[in-house]
Every structure is written in structure tokens, then in C-alpha cells.
Structure 1
Amino acid sequence: MSRSRMGSEHAAYVADMTSRYRRDNERRREFSAESDTGSSQLPHVERVEFYAPQNAREHHTLRYEVVQDRYRADPVLRRGQPFYMAIRLGRPLDFARERMYVVLKYGPRPVVTLGTKVYLPVGKKEFTKEKQHWDCRVHGDDGATVVLQIQIPFDCLVGDWSFSIQTIGAESVGRRRAEYKCRENVYILFNPWCPEDACYMEDAAERDEYVTSDTGKIFVGAHRRYRGRHWVFGQHDNMVLPAAQLILERSGLSHAERGSPAKVVRALTGTLHSENHGGVLQARWDGQYEDGVSPWTWTGSVRILEQYLRSGGRTVKYGQCWVFSGLLTTVCRALGIPCRSVTNFVSAHDTDGTLTVDKFFDAFGDEIEHGPTGDSNDSLWNFHVWNDAWMARPDLPRGYGGWQACDATPQQESDNKFQCGPCSLEAIRRGEVGFGFDTTFLFSEVNADLVHWQEDDASDWGFSKVKRDHYHVGRSVLTKRCGAADSDDEADADDITHLYKNPEGTAAERIAVFNAVRGTVGAQKYFDYPASDDEDVQFQLADIDSVMIGQPFHVDVNVLNKSAEPRTIKAFMHANSVYYTGIKALDIVREPVEFTLQPGQTESVVVKITPEKYMDKLVDYCMVKVYALANVVETRQSWSEEDDFVISKPKLRIEADQPCVVNKECRVSFSFKNPLNMELNGCMLSIEGSGLTRPRVMKLKRTVQPHETFTHTEAFVPRELGDKTIVATFQCRQLFDIEGSKTLAVVN
């Protein structure tokens, strides 16, 4: 249902919800032991008790902070399970002559026929309905208090329900009703523990990782030199469920459709960003973050969602793909949908539906931005982070359920909105682009062909194909391995490329591509362009594995003349700083080279790049892209290759000076060695740890001298027992995105 159709009544409902959640959040932050002396609207119903903590133990929701909040314990329940509640009366109810109902409502205009309003009569001793229906039975009755057990359907609508108790006296049947409105927000979630639920996940270890774990890793960088950033999902924080409900309200998804995980996830991908108006987080990639927060400064989702909720739903600035993925993981897990962050290294953004990423170069080897017509916007992202969500897909053929790709980063419109997924990984792997949602786009991200075109006067349309690479895109797809945790290395990375694509070079992989081509009209002509076979000079661009910031590096191309005649080579070497989306930022070096190779001769073309050439040209994540293009004068053979890598930075070390004890002050130090020959100033440290400390940002009134070891100590009081991960980032004017994490054991 669109926002316009939902009308002013829904707008008022959202405004009231925003105000209520914001008030609740402030009260929870400032709450002191105060008595509740509010009067009941219904004199003979004195109180309703939801047994929030007790029910939470059975519903696997005890970690949600709202369940045990001193201000007001809100029940957090999972569908497909019964729960208990008690009604304390001013006098015993005469069940033979009087009636009592538990009334449940969802949304601004609850309707029984849409499942958004439910009347449960109180009286019978046993459940009589199947598990897909609401049901109520009297568990105990001592006259003054009636204890009920209520069955939640396994396909119940998910979100914040309101409860009330209605009574009808013996003389008022069919006419006047008295009502007691419960003040609690009753959250009903998807249930991965329930076999009938669409989000059911059988494996207990996987449920622990993808539903209940509140920290994880998001992999970033280059495919040969990636690193995992710890992220605090914090889905159990006391303001996350209210924020998730507000996000759903603003998505425009009909309340009657909120029992479908596929529709809920699709709605979330369109509402976590601001492109569709009113979203949580604004995307930005140009490095201009002065009026907000730099994307690499975030350490988790809680600070973002708290700012969103406390500001009354105003968009937060700024995010990039891995931040959107962290947010989506948080909201999905909070709602009970198993979810994980997934990183695709060398990710294609195919803007014209050709299943290719086309790059155009002029006769001198310079890339022609936006192509010869000015509207070619294909790009290769060094990495792109999206999500997998686990669910059944009854709308697809058998075998296409399970993990579904979904993406909250605003890249391209789908059904006239910026939204993406959920799309079956099995459909992507097979190239079944006719299955919803957005399979063609997601297939291209992991399996498009990379095509280089260069100006050629002899060509009918002015360009000839220099290179077609079937295997450059989708070099690896990583997520955090189930159950593993590695603060200092990447041993917890799980390569799930095989779930997205068949092994490169196999018949199955090519069949998947041809399946996709057959279903994509725009792709068919691009797969017919011929390439030159007259190739007798061999070129190889040497890989650059790792460069520490402040150190030199070089671009190296090895050339071998395999022919029996001399060959004249004209080569162009380029190195650019790039945003991780593949968009060029600044030229670092551009060097033409011309030489002659004798038969059988090998030559190495080397361009050395010093720190002075690149330090002031680096942008977000310190990524560099190298292009090498060459032409053989005698045969018109053309060759091109590209590579990208990350300028590495030191890790932020985190150490506790003593064992961490729950509810006692703990001191933790943060340190790294300045790798530069310059002073660091404008220093700032951000830290966050679920169960350890709420998000905090410190502006440090000090500088760090060249090659000095920076050290800073913070104190906090752990709130929960167990292994807890603290995440921190350091930034200054000269360096950014120095990050680290540490898992600390909190004991009694």
C-alpha cells in the first residue's frame, strides 16, 4: 500500500508512534525507581501482567533489554508459540453471565478480516484451534486473578501489537463494553525455532550465529588483501525494536503483509536508506562528510538507530554499503529473520542490463568516463556488501528457499523504488533471471563479463574490443564463518562463492551465464562481438599484494614477443586513487612507454610510485586502481588489464589491564604506531561494545608525533556476563579508518 493511499490517518499514527518511542527511550535512559499510580480505565480490571521475562525464556528473547527494563517490561514474543498473561480483577468474573475478551490490534485501522484485529473470548480450558490460528485458554482462575495462555499463529503479522481487555456485563450483552488498555508494547517476532514458521532454521549453531549473536564481521578491502571489520549489531538494545517498528511503518508496507519475511525484507531494503525519502541513513561516497559522520567512523548499528529514533525519525548522515548491510543485519535479527552480511569482491554494477561491465578507452589509453555516448555508467566496485536473509519462498519453485540475497544500499530502482531482493541464491547460481526479485541485477554483480573497448578508426562504430574477461567479476564472496571469532586475523572468513556461482571455467558456470543471457534482451548483442585472434605478444600485469601506507610501490608489466619478427609496443600505464565503488578520484601517475621487442625477447616495464606521488591523493579506504593498455603496431593486437589493491594501515590494538568483572569498572587501552613521517592532529576515537559500553565518541586534545605509538585508556562498566566484543576506530586529519576489535571475557 502506498503512502498516499494510507492517508493522513496513517501519518498521524506514525507521528504518534515516533513520539511515543522517543519518549520511552528517554524515560528508559533517565528512569529512577518511581511508582506508577496511573488509574485504570476499567475499574474492575486492576492490572494485566505479561510475565515478560518468564515468557522470554521460552521464546528465546530474554536478551532483549526491553524485556527486563525497570521503566516498563515490554513482552517480546515469537509467533508459533503460546505465552502466559494474567488479569487481576476487582471482583471475580461470573463466566456464566459475563464475558471477557482479550483484544489485539495492529496498525492505525485494525480490521478483523485482514488479521490486524483479533478478539479472543476468555472462558474455555483448552486450545481448540490449529496452530495457524489465534487461540486462548484459561490456565488458572482463583477468582481475583485469571491466568491465560494465548497461542500465537505461526504466520502472525510481525511488529508492535497493542492489547486491551474488554468486559461485557450481564445486562450489557451486545451493547456497552468497558475496556482496559495495556500500556505495554507487545512485540511479536518471526520464529526461527518454530518448524512451521517461514524463517525456521533447523541448525542450532546457525540460529545462534545468524539470529542471536549481536556482534559479527563485515569484510572489506581488495580480494587479495581483505580484512574483517567487527561490527556491533546490537539487536537486543532497548531502542532497536522500537526503531525497527518505526522503519516498517515508514516503508509503506501494508500491515496485513507483515507476516511474510520476503515482503518485510524487501520493504526494509527500501527504507534503511534515504533515496525513497524518510529513510534511516543517507548514502554518500564523495568524501564530503563534514555535516555528518564519516562512514568508517561507525562501529555498530545502535548509535545510528538511536540517533534516528531520538531525532524523531530524521535521516542520519552518512553511510556506505557495509554500514547499510550492518543496519539491515541488525533490524532483521531484531525481528527474528536470520541474516548475515556478505561481501562480494570485484562487484559489478551493470546499469544497462547487458550482463557486462563496459569500459571505454581513447587511442591514448585514457578511460572515457561515461563512455562514448555519455550514458554508460557501468562500474566495478572493489567490494560491495549486501545481506543474505534466511526464509522459505513459497512463491518460487521447490528448492529456491533458504538464503536470499537482499541489498539496502541504494544502487538502482526496482519497481520504481530503490530496493533490492530478496533473491534466491539458487536462482542466482543457475542464472534463472526470471525469478523475483532483482535476479538479473544480482547475477550481474557476481558473474558479469568485463569488457574493455578502445577507439579504433577501422571499426564500424569507432571502437574495437580489446579484452573480454569472464572471470574478473565476483572473485570471492565472503561472510563470517558460523561460530568462529578472530579479533586479530581473518581465520573466521567463510568463502561462500560456490553458493552464488558455479566454479569459474566449468560448463555449469557458462551454462548459468547463457541462461541469464537468454532471459536478458540487452545482453544478447554484447555476447556476439568478435575479438581479434591475431595475438603473438604476451602481456602480464604483476599483482600488487600489499603496500603499507608511506611506502613506495611499482607497477610492473612483463612482455614476451612469441613471434619470429620484431614487434613495436606502445603501452600506457595508469595508477589512480579510486573510491571503493570503482569511481576514479585522482590521477597518481600516467606514463606512456614505447619500445621494440626482438623475436623471443622479454621486457619488463616498471613504473615506480613514491609516497610523495600518492599520499595527498588517497581517498576513502586508500584504494588504488592500476590500468595497463598496450598495442602492437605491426599486428594491431590490443591488450589491457586492470588491478586494484589497498594501501594498508596499522591495526588498532585493544587490551584490558585486568580481568573484566560484571558491574565493576574495567580499563581498556587503545594503541597503534604512527607509520607516517608527519604529525597526526585532529584525533578522534569511537568505541562501542554490546553489553560492555554504549557507543561513545571522544575528541582527543593531543597530537601524535611521527612514528610515535599512540595510547589512550578508557574506563567502562560491563553490564553482561560472557564473551563480549569491543570495537573501536581512530581517525585524524592525516589518517582515517584505523580500526580494531577485541573479545573480552566478562566474569563474576
Structure 2
Amino acid sequence: MIFETSFHKLQLKFLKLNLFSSELTLAVRSVDLLSQKSDRNKKEHHTDQYHSDQLVVRRGQTFQIELDLSRTFNPNTDKLHLELKTGPLPQVSKRTHIIIPLVDELEDERWEAKIVEQNVNRVKLSVNSPITAVIGKYKLTVTTQCLKTSETTTHDSDKDIYMLFNPWCEDDTVYMEGEKELKEYVLNDTGRIYYGTEKQIGARTWNFGQFDEGILEACLFVLDNSEVPPSGRGDPVNVVRVISAMINSPDDRGVLEGNWSGNYAGGTSPTAWSGSVEILRQYHKEGGTPVKYGQCWVFSGVTTTVLRCLGIPTRSVTNFQSAHDTDVSLTTDVYFDEIMEPIHHLNSDSIWNFHVWNDCWMARPDLPPGMGGWQAVDSTPQETSHGTFRCGPASLAAIRSGQVYLKFDTPFVFAEVNSDKIYWQRNLDSTFSQIHSEKKAVGHCISTKAVGSDERVDITHLYKYPEDSEEERIAVETACRYGSKPDVYSSPIAEDVRVEVMMEGEGPRMGGDAQLKIVVKNTSSQPRRTTLHSQVAVMYYTGVLKDTVKKDTLNVELKPQEVYDESFFCHEIKI
């Protein structure tokens, strides 16, 4: 009986010890990232349109979370900190494993948290992030410690935190001034993409859908599917460059497979797409299998979706008469043999009726001052950049002034909008001589959707100075000095016989006739004799030759200042 009583006393003492220990232990019962009170996160961070059951916030700005604790938090005896992890191998040194301390007062430019409200066991935290934070999906862990017992507990949140770029924050490199501009280039989920020719500009409505359900996850999946580690996602230049590569598929199993063949069996015709949502969802659902098929406007539309979704102001841009420079000459070159027959294997440069790419907005601290603002980005696979099919971001300010030595891929974009078309003839000794140049052949009516309306706005002036202006000629000659033919303008061509081809009306329509006029003018004070080689061909919008319609050679004798013209019809032009 004495033994039994002693046993009960021991048992009671042990029970009291356990109760005392449990009272000291501080544990997190739950983490609330999406309470009604925390709806202010969405409004303050401009993320209320995202259809996501996770917390979506923007870097460089405080956000709130709530903790339900096992007892009242005592700052004198308890410690608490948060941990955020992103990527497959989070590391503190790579800024992908973040330890967020609890502080008395929040300061800018650092990860930290402060208790702003406490109600018994309920604690509300205000969390601060730096403007250099890596964007992406973070796993949240809350760690508590009781100083009396040194006991530590951890709690993993069942919700994730999505961190995005912050164009509303003045210290973020993607900061954009103006609510109308931010509403258009970040928050607008529909837009217009232009196509056709400079005289027949068409527009298609595109559903960017960056806030649709599953699209944020799909966009981050695109980043995860690249070879660039999460540690590089704090710099928008890196992110844009990655997205430019990942929207096409030739070398990295990106989102879209390009197809210009006219045969779209096994996939969807590029003209059938009207938005990005279905494309990105399919790519995500199928684990990174490229979606079939895309052409330039589709690549651009998807790029706009992804970059706007991640918080980078972006727009789709169309360039009419867009050059494709294949040899970094900064000119569009056409080669003929001794008898003026085209040398097809040398004529790899082309001029597309139109080409669609993107502008995105950011500061460029990696470039000289003045190079920030709009940057050209092209996801259509044309030429490789550092071994990968991608293009940009290239500063429009650098393109305009011909400073093509500034990264990234500025020479290629410059040639698209402002290269001269140079005609070369092979000599008997196999060298080539310039026989003609066109200074206004490319880069017309560069177009994008206007802010706040569906009107088209011409932004050619952002890419180049006015044609024939001294500034424009200086830009062209400056750029060409850094190309593969630096001597193109060392000996100017004396062109006193000028040729111009004009088309009556707006231009040819499908299955219709085209009336062309060739005007030859002798601008000299002496008579001139010249041979006019004319060739009319039908091309795809990419500048690829489909068929020759008419070919002719005509000897022309011109008196001083005489103008000669010849008109002719081409019947049933098939475009």
C-alpha cells in the first residue's frame, strides 16, 4: 500500500512536470497568409487580380501574415524567426535561403519582421523584403524557441509565398512612373498585336491572361525549366534574357515550337491562337513539352504574358519591313553576279513584311547612364546569342544612337529597324562592289497599342531618328563601324541615277492585281546610260522567296535631269 501511494505521488509529480513543460513550450499551431485582414496585401501590392490560393506579393514592400501560437508570445523569454526557401537547393549565400529575424523597428533594404498586433495567442507580423529579393515561389517555415528550456519548434506553412518584381516601388529596377502606364503595361490582361504591311496594318486582339488561374505557376515553371539557377532571378535583365530563350524551343525545350512551313499537322496553326493562356497551361500540364506551333506574334504574345505576370512592364511591338541580318554586317545585303543574276547562296539576309517582338521597361545599371527605359526583347528564334536562341534586352536608346557595342544583341535589333539595304555586284576578280543602296528600306511604322485605348501608336521615333536626318545617318554609320563590314561607308557611292519603285493604291490584296511603277531619274548635269534589271517576286511575310512573277532587263538613256517611268501590271498576286 505504501508502495502504491509512492507510485501515485511519482506519477502525479511527472504529470505536473509535463504540464509545466508544455506551458513553457512555444509552438506555432498555424500560419494564416490569406485571412480577410491580409486582403490588404493584395490591394497594397496590386496582386488582387491573381487567381491563386497562395500569397502573392511584390518585393521591396512590407506584407502581413498571422500566426496562431500555443500560448501568448513573451518577447523576454521567447524567440521567433521566419525562414523562406526557394529553388531545389536553397543557400543563404545565394539569397535563396532567407532567415528573417524579429526586430523592434523595420528598416528598408533588408529582410526583417516586426510584431504589429498581438491578441492572446494570435500574433500579426509585418514582413519587409529588399528590392533586390529573388523572385519566385518561397516555402515558409516559422521557428520558435523558449529561452527557459532551450526547446525549439518549427512549423511549415501549407501555403507558399510568391515574390514578384515591383514596378510601383521607386527603388526597384523595373519601376515605372505613371498609374495609366502601369495599368496598361502590367495590369492589362488583353491587348492588340499588329500585322500585315505598312500600308495595310491589321490588328488582332490577344488575351494575355496573366492573372488567370494557373498562369503564375506556369510562368514560374518556365523559369524553373531553364538552366539558370534561382539565385539569378533578382535581376530583371537576367530574367528577361531567360524568358526570351525559354519561350522558343529549338535548344532548351521551351514553350513554343516555331513553324513557318504552312503544314501544321500534329499541332495548332499559329493563326488559330488568340491568347497565351491555353499555351502556357498546356506547357505546364505536359511537363515542359513544347506546344505546337508558333510564329512571331505568338512568341511575342506569350512573352508579354510571362513578363507582365512576373511584374515587368511589357508590351508587344510590331516592326514593318523588318530586316533579318544574318552576318552581323548591320546592313541588309543583296548579291548579284557579273550579269546581275542573284547569287542565292549569299542572299541569306531578308526583310520581313512585319515582325513582332517586345519592349520591356527597366533601368540598366549595367550600361552607361541614359540607357534605361524601354528594352527590346525578341523570343522568336532567328539568330543565337551566346549560343542560345534569344535576343535582348537591348536598350532602345542605344539602338537609336547606333551604340551597338552595348549589350545585349543591340546590333541585331538595330539592323531590324535601321539598316541600309546594300546591293553588291561580283567583279571579274571575284571581289564585290557596291552598286546601289536604299536608306529607307527597313523599319517603318513601328507600332504598339496605345495606353488606355485600343488605338495604334507609332513608336518609330523611339527606335531611330527621322529618316534623312543628320542624326539618323550618324547612327547608321556609327553602327556599321562595329559590324562585320566596317568599310561599307568608307567610300560613298556616287549615285546620280536614282531608282524608285512605287505601288499604286494601298498595295496588293489576296488574289488581286498589283500596279507597279518604276521611276528612274538622272540627277546629274550629264546624260547617262543605264541598264534597268527588274524582278517582281512573291515572298512570304518573313522575306522568303516563294516565286518569281516577272523578270525583265531594259536599257535606258537619260538626258540631264530627265525622269523615266514605266508602269506594268502583275496579275493575280498570291500572297
Whether TM exceeds 0.5 here: the answer is: yes
Pair 1:65 & 2:51 matched: yes
> Which residue in the other structure is 1:127 paired with?
105
Q: Contact (CA 8 Å) 1:365, 1:572: kept in 2 or not?
A: no
The whole-number CA distance in structure 2 between the counterparts of 1:80 and 1:528 is 51
The residue type equivalent to 1:504 in the other structure is E
> Which residue in the other structure is 1:476 paired with?
445
Pair 1:586 & 2:562 matched: no
- Give deviations 1:507-559, integer Å, cap 9, x for gaps: 11122223223333x22133335645564xx6442224233434322333245
Pair 1:497 & 2:464 matched: no
> Which residue in the other structure is 1:555 paired with?
516
Q: 1:92 aligns with which of 72, 92, 114?
A: 72
Pair 1:49 & 2:32 matched: yes
- Give deviations 1:229-262, integer Å, cap 9, x for gaps: 2211111112111111111112222322211111
The whole-number CA distance in structure 1 between the counterparts of 2:545 and 2:138 is 49
- Give deviations 1:212-239, integer Å, cap 9, x for gaps: 1111111111122212222111111121
Q: 1:241 aligns with which of 204, 211, 216?
A: 216
DSSP-derived class of the 2:184 partner: helix
Alignment of 1:104-253 (within 5 A): 104-122=84-102, 124=103, 126-129=104-107, 131-170=108-147, 173=150, 177-253=152-228
> Which residue in the other structure is 1:466 paired with?
435
Per the TM alignment, residue 339 of structure 1 is displaced from its structure 2 partner at its CA by 0.7
The 3 A distance-change label for structure 1 pair 158 and 596 is closer
The 3 A distance-change label for structure 1 pair 121 and 219 is same
The whole-number CA distance in structure 2 between the counterparts of 1:429 and 1:328 is 23
Per the TM alignment, residue 200 of structure 1 is displaced from its structure 2 partner at its CA by 0.9
Query: Matched residue pairs, number?
Result: 545
The 3 A distance-change label for structure 1 pair 584 and 550 is closer
Q: Contact (CA 8 Å) 1:78, 1:189: kept in 2 or not?
A: yes
User: Which shifted more, 342-351 or 195-204?
Assistant: 342-351
> Which residue in the other structure is 2:475 paired with?
512
The 3 A distance-change label for structure 1 pair 239 and 472 is same
The residue type equivalent to 1:47 in the other structure is S
- Give deviations 1:144-177, integer Å, cap 9, x for gaps: 211111112122111111112222344663xx74
> Which residue in the other structure is 2:424 paired with?
453
User: Which shifted more, 436-445 or 601-610?
Assistant: 601-610
Q: Contact (CA 8 Å) 2:480, 2:488: kept in 1 or not?
A: no
Q: Contact (CA 8 Å) 1:561, 1:567: kept in 2 or not?
A: no
The residue type equivalent to 2:363 in the other structure is A
Alignment of 1:343-358 (within 5 A): 343-358=318-333
The whole-number CA distance in structure 2 between the counterparts of 1:470 and 1:610 is 29
The 3 A distance-change label for structure 1 pair 239 and 534 is same
The residue type equivalent to 1:528 in the other structure is S
Per the TM alignment, residue 61 of structure 1 is displaced from its structure 2 partner at its CA by 0.8
The whole-number CA distance in structure 2 between the counterparts of 1:447 and 1:197 is 32
Per the TM alignment, residue 99 of structure 1 is displaced from its structure 2 partner at its CA by 2.7
The whole-number CA distance in structure 2 between the counterparts of 1:603 and 1:519 is 38
DSSP-derived class of the 2:480 partner: helix
- Give deviations 1:189-228, integer Å, cap 9, x for gaps: 1111111111111111111111111111111111222122
Percent identity (aligned): 39
The 3 A distance-change label for structure 1 pair 526 and 539 is closer
The 3 A distance-change label for structure 1 pair 534 and 377 is same
The 3 A distance-change label for structure 1 pair 169 and 596 is closer
DSSP-derived class of the 1:251 partner: coil
- Give deviations 1:62-84, integer Å, cap 9, x for gaps: 11111xxxxxx211101111111
The whole-number CA distance in structure 1 between the counterparts of 2:42 and 2:295 is 35
Pair 1:76 & 2:56 matched: yes
Q: 2:486 aligns with which of 524, 527, 544?
A: 524
> Which residue in the other structure is 2:405 paired with?
434
> Which residue in the other structure is 1:386 paired with?
357
Stretches of structure 2 lacking an aligned partner (at least 5 in a row): 1-24
The whole-number CA distance in structure 2 between the counterparts of 1:518 and 1:560 is 31
DSSP-derived class of the 1:542 partner: strand
The residue type equivalent to 1:479 in the other structure is T
Q: Contact (CA 8 Å) 2:496, 2:522: kept in 1 or not?
A: no
Q: Contact (CA 8 Å) 1:127, 1:135: kept in 2 or not?
A: no
The residue type equivalent to 1:163 in the other structure is L
Alignment of 1:654-693 (within 5 A): none
User: Which shifted more, 254-263 or 546-555?
Assistant: 546-555
- Give deviations 1:376-435, integer Å, cap 9, x for gaps: 522212222111111111112221111111111112122222221112111111111221
The 3 A distance-change label for structure 1 pair 305 and 289 is same
The whole-number CA distance in structure 1 between the counterparts of 2:82 and 2:519 is 78
The whole-number CA distance in structure 2 between the counterparts of 1:113 and 1:58 is 30
Pair 1:417 & 2:388 matched: yes
Stretches of structure 1 lacking an aligned partner (at least 5 in a row): 1-41, 67-72, 486-491, 616-621, 623-748
The whole-number CA distance in structure 2 between the counterparts of 1:509 and 1:560 is 25
Q: Contact (CA 8 Å) 1:159, 1:187: kept in 2 or not?
A: yes
The residue type equivalent to 2:118 in the other structure is D
Q: Contact (CA 8 Å) 2:477, 2:489: kept in 1 or not?
A: no
- Give deviations 1:653-695, integer Å, cap 9, x for gaps: xxxxxxxxxxxxxxxxxxxxxxxxxxxxxxxxxxxxxxxxxxx
